[in-house]
A = this chain, B = another copy of it.
Amino acid sequence: MDWRAVVGKNVRALRQDRGLTQEQLAFEAELDLTYLGGIERGKRNPSLLVLARISEALGVSPTALLATPAR
C-alpha cells in the first residue's frame, strides 16, 4: 500500500468537496503551498502533526486522511 498516495487522494478529494483551493487549504493548515501540492500528488511523507493540521482545516478526523477504498 502506498500510503502517501492514499493520503494525497483523500486530501484532494476532501478539499475539493469543500470547494477549497490549494491556496486556501495551505493557508488554513499553515503549510507551504508547494508542500501541500506535493502531499496531494503523493510525493511527500508528512508528519503526524502536519496530518493533524490538514485534517483540522478540513474539519475531519486524521483517520479520514488514511481511509482506503472499501474492498
Chain A residues engaging chain B, CB cutoff 8 angstroms: 1, 3-4, 7, 45-49, 51-52, 61-63, 66-68
Pick the contact of A52 from B1, B47, B63 — CB < 8 Å?
B1
- Identify 16 residue pairs between A and B in the complex whose beta-carbon atoms are under 8 Å apart, listed by A's number: A1-B52, A3-B48, A3-B49, A3-B51, A3-B62, A4-B48, A7-B48, A45-B49, A46-B47, A46-B48, A48-B48, A61-B68, A62-B66, A63-B63, A63-B66, A63-B67
Please, which residues of chain B bring their CB within 8 A of the CB of A67? 63
Q: Which 4 residue pairs are nearest across A and B when measured between Cβ atoms?
A: A63-B63, A3-B52, A45-B47, A62-B66
Report chain B residues within 8 Å CB of A7.
48
